[in-house]
Amino acid sequence: MTQLAPAPDVGSLAAEVLRRARIKVPFWRILTGKRTVLVTTAVVVVAHALYLLRPHEPVAGEEDPVARVLATVAAGIAFAFTYVQWHLGREEASYDKYYDRMRLVNEHIDAAGREYARLRELAPKEEPASWLLDHHRNMITFAELDNLEYVLGKRRLNYVEDDLVERAVRTFRAQCAQAWFCEKVRFWTVQTELGYRPRTRAAARFLAGLDTEKNA
């Protein structure tokens, strides 16, 4: 089994992965992003306040412009606060789900190690059944590919920030230091297209160095 070449260590690995996977946040998602909404809210509040304070002939029974401006500012602040809280809650949920998935990977790795040690203790001179080790390796690979697909999908929906994508792709690439993991990635993303989306397969192949191997 040969060791595959790792992906190049570019400044932002996440940016390169997103480019190769052709993932772009849809424009309408950008419009509903936190910064866009807050800036738009501020502009609307300021514009409305300037309109209320414009020089004009007072009308009988008209409410005090200053009071109306204060009401507008208060409404804008309330809306911005509510939106930010909702957006932060959505980001927190995405982080929680990601770390739940990471725990699943660690559990598979731990289970494989414990089972291997148990079988070696029962039969020190015999190697454990190859199918058992292969099964655990498949489970680890599936969990890592699922994590990668999850975080790429969330990024496309603008539900996670780039720092989480960076962590996810670097965690995946760290696994690629093991030759068997690269071989599994090759099998499940190149030789067999088992349900994973094209962007996930493209990202996994790049991180495992399979694109480099293909073009060599």
By the 8 A CB rule, do 147 and 172 touch?
yes
Q: For the residues 98-124, what does the mean pLDDT come to?
A: 72
Percent of the chain with pLDDT over 90: 12
28-38: pLDDT as tens digits: 555 556 676 77
pLDDT of amino acid 176:
92
Average pLDDT of the chain to the nearest whole number: 76
pLDDT of amino acid 126:
61
pLDDT of amino acid 5:
46
What are the structure tokens assigned to 140, written together?
């680890």
- Residues written for the chain: 216
By three-state DSSP, how is residue 57 classified?
coil
Q: Please check the confidence at residue 181 and state whether its pLDDT lies above 90.
A: yes
- Burial track 110-139 (b if 16+ CB lie within 10 A, e otherwise): eebeeeeeebeeeeeeeebeeeebeebbeb
Q: Please check the confidence at residue 106 and state whether its pLDDT lies above 60.
A: yes
By the 8 A CB rule, do 214 and 12 touch?
no
Least confident interval from 9-18, 89-98, 120-129, 207-216: 120-129
pLDDT band of residue 1 (cuts 50, 70, 90) is very low
Residue corresponding to tokens 């990202």? 203
What are the structure tokens assigned to 120, written together?
């070696």
pLDDT of amino acid 34:
67
By the 8 A CB rule, do 196 and 21 touch?
no
pLDDT band of residue 216 (cuts 50, 70, 90) is very low
By the 8 A CB rule, do 93 and 150 touch?
no
pLDDT of amino acid 56:
65
Q: For the residues 100-128, what does the mean pLDDT come to?
A: 71
Q: Please check the confidence at residue 26 and state whether its pLDDT lies above 50.
A: yes
Residue corresponding to tokens 């790795």? 109
Nearest to 46 by CA among 80, 78, 72: 72
* Residues 6 or more apart in contact with residue 151 via CB below 8 angstroms: 98, 160, 164, 165, 168, 169
Q: For the residues 110-131, what does the mean pLDDT come to?
A: 69
* Residues 6 or more apart in contact with residue 71 via CB below 8 angstroms: none
pLDDT of amino acid 184:
92
What are the structure tokens assigned to 74, written together?
């208060």
pLDDT band of residue 185 (cuts 50, 70, 90) is very high
pTM score of the predicted model: 0.62
What are the structure tokens assigned to 27, written together?
């424009």
pLDDT of amino acid 43:
78
User: Can you tell me the distance from the alpha carbon of 157 to that of 32, in angstroms, rounded to the nearest whole number?
Assistant: 11
pLDDT of amino acid 109:
72
